[in-house]
Amino acid sequence: MAGESESMTNPKQELNHDYLIRGSEYLVNFRGFELVGREDVLKKLTAILMRKNANSVLLVGAGGVGCSAICIGLQASKDKPDTPFDIVSKRFFWMDSDLLFASGEHSKINTGFNKTLRTLGRTPNAVLVMDDMRDFIDAARNNGCTNLINAIMHAIKKKQFQVIMEARDEDLQAVLSCHSDMKEGYTLLDINEPDETLLYQIIKTIARTRLNAHHKIKISDPAIETAIDVTSKYRVRDMGLSRAQPERTLTLLDRALTSYRLDAHAKDPRLDELNSRLELINSQTADAEQKSEQQQLTSEIQKITDAWAARQTKIKDIYAELRDGEEAIRGLETDMEQQQQEEARLLEQADDSEEQPAVKKGFVPFAARAAGAGFDSEEVTAIKKQIAKFQAEVDKNREKFDALTAEINDHLELSKEHVLEEFSNISGIPVSKLTQDERAKLLHLDENLNNRVFGQQEAVTKLANQVRVARAGLQSPNKPQAAFMFLGPSGVGKTELAKALTVELFDDERALLRFDMSEYMEKHAVAKLIGAPPGYEGYEAGGILTNEMRRNPRRIILFDEIEKAHPDIFNVFLQILDDARLTDNRGLTVSFRDAIILMTTNIGTTHFLSEDNFEVAKSLAMENLDDQYRPEFLARFNGKRNIVCFNTLGLAVIEKIAARDIGNLNLMVQATVPEISIEITPEALSAMCRDHYKPITGARGITGYIEGVIKPEIANTVLFNQQAKGSIVIEYDEAEQTVVLHPPKVTAGQQATG
């Protein structure tokens, strides 16, 4: 880094810059760095570097997983006594790509890069670290310097040095395709998110060192545990919280600490509790004892407020002095730089005295000659003394400033509640849901699912039991947490049950990963899931399913109407259901161990619609399944026990669904116009359901009727009767088989106002 600042100020030095940051210099930027929980990865990386062939490394992982930290840890490990001598003898260099390409001049870039190669080539056991290979490739191509990549590959073939390249998952193919020999010269090392135990060790170490050093606020263990829990369980669209672990948790803790500091530094944290106690006493009929406590509280609040104001004034005064001193130092440094440039100019004139006879070396001022001899001139020395004087004052004021802020920060500690509040603000999920006890949620899972999916008790019970088995840690480690196939007519709640389970477990229906298998009817459609073969369009992008699972392995996945998928898709299903793992087209492995797999099919629908006996219909539908699918596929669903048949819905269930939809419509109306509500008589509801429900369409028929007929009528009533108050009464004309709406009456006073 020092080389960068020097090159920007001295063009002559820039010509000799090799655009490399030595490992020891790079490590200085991460004082106290400690690599935690990545010992296995570090051992693998070390072993690759010690090989004879393919001993350069391509580190691949999601953004935020810690590829850069692993490389820094490799440099830091050289100081450990148990590090192999083969690694201690390695010389690590970080490529300063930004500075290399900063000029945008083709010739300058090539000259600088050749200097880099010469430095690496003459350094024994040199290892070049390129921390974002995709950026390097793009910069080289944009500046017409693709030869740089060839030069690196040539040096690797000649074993002049080794390279560690870092690439994100989505950039892997772009890196592999930058040269035809990439797969021969490099060994791919896939970096995955750490497991829960390692993640806690990593977060605790970093939080207690880097975050605490920056914010000067202690972080409690429950705060760390809560941050890990919510960032592992929930995914939000926020840029910082959409990256991989451990960065997601560290970002949340950083933001929670920032919000906490803003609140805590605005007023004394003790005032909230004291003011609450005072308000409680003021709201009651005070006796003599309470009046005395009231006076004490008022006095204490005033005392704390005055002390806080005095401290804040003192802090601001010290900060003003600190700022003025730093500004004075900057001004003196500018003066010194101008003086040195003037002296350098005079020396150059002295060197060119033969071409310019008017300038004689004897007439060069003493200051310039002193500078040329390697000494500071009197002017520069005087300025340096002034700078040192101001710097001493600045350091003294900084110590006072830090001491005063420490008086506040020493009483602060980030708690679980602060983390939950910050995450709620980011995600929009209420704190009440974030704090729900997981065991209580699982205990009432059946009840909550039945409140949304009516008439499917068997399916709800089986699914809830399997989820509890998985959460209790009793599921096979090489299987998904649950795998179910839902069989039954359209509109009976198969997809709705998947959505309801997602809401219960993840508090957000959008967390459901849904695939409509009607989009996967062609033979080549399997490429959409796991990625296109080499040479085909879209190869670099990977597969939709594998990409999503690498970003977030804790998912509920719904494959809807699987009978429409091409038979080749079922080979993918077999691997997911059997081994809970899948390898995409780029060779990256994805785990499904934390996923719940749900599939729906309409096979055998006719039996449920034509047979009155549900058991007979179920038996016939299962025979159809046996004819349609291979036995090994059906056996993956817990020996067919997790193939669940859904009942056709009776009229009583349809009435419950209609009543729920009308209730939801009423909430929408009252959110817009609080003075208006919706009412429907039980007789009208029953008659409407009886006339408009058809078993072949299931609940979608009555839901569609409410959406397409009742809702537009309600909208017209709300829009054109804005002065009305009261209830919109829905009646049903059985003869015409249509609803009749009676809008609220507008009173005479309301008409006059209108």
Report helix, strand or coil for 579: helix
**What's the pTM?**
0.68
Q: How far apart are CA 669 and CA 674, in angstroms?
A: 7
Match domain 651-753 to its CATH number in 3.40.109.10, 2.60.120.260, 1.10.8.60, 3.20.20.80. Answer: 1.10.8.60
Q: How far apart are CA 739 and CA 735, in angstroms?
A: 11
**Which CATH number is 436-645 given?**
3.40.50.300
Q: What DSSP assignment string belongs to 313-374?
A: HHHHHHHHHHHHHHHHHHHHHHHHHHHHHHHHHHHHHHHTTTT-TT--GGGS-HHHHHHHTT
pLDDT digits (tens, 9 = 90+) for 305-352: 777 777 777 777 777 777 777 787 788 888 887 877 777 777 676 665
How high is the pLDDT of residue 366? 53
Superfamily of 2-192 according to CATH: P-loop containing nucleotide triphosphate hydrolases (3.40.50.300)
Q: Is the separation of the CB atoms in 93 and 27 below 8 Å?
A: no
Burial state string for 496-505 with b = 16 or more CB within 10 A and e = fewer than 16: bbbbbbbbbb
pLDDT digits (tens, 9 = 90+) for 191-238: 888 888 889 989 988 888 888 888 888 899 999 999 998 888 887 777
Question: Does 535 score more than 60 pLDDT?
Answer: no
pLDDT grade, residue 9 (50/70/90)? Answer: very low
User: Is residue 59 packed enough to be buried (19+ CB in 10 Å), middle (13-18) or exposed (0-12)?
Assistant: buried
Q: Is the separation of the CB atoms in 633 and 573 below 8 Å?
A: yes
Question: Does 354 score more than 60 pLDDT?
Answer: no
Backbone angles phi, psi at 113, to 5 degrees: -70, -35
Identify which of 58, 187, 182 has the alpha carbon closest to the alpha carbon of residue 131: 58
Report helix, strand or coil for 458: helix
How high is the pLDDT of residue 171? 85
How high is the pLDDT of residue 17? 62
Considering only 6-10, 498-502, 540-544, 708-712, which range has the smallest mean pLDDT? Answer: 6-10
Q: Is the separation of the CB atoms in 551 and 593 below 8 Å?
A: no
pLDDT grade, residue 130 (50/70/90)? Answer: very high
Q: How far apart are CA 129 and CA 140, in angstroms?
A: 17
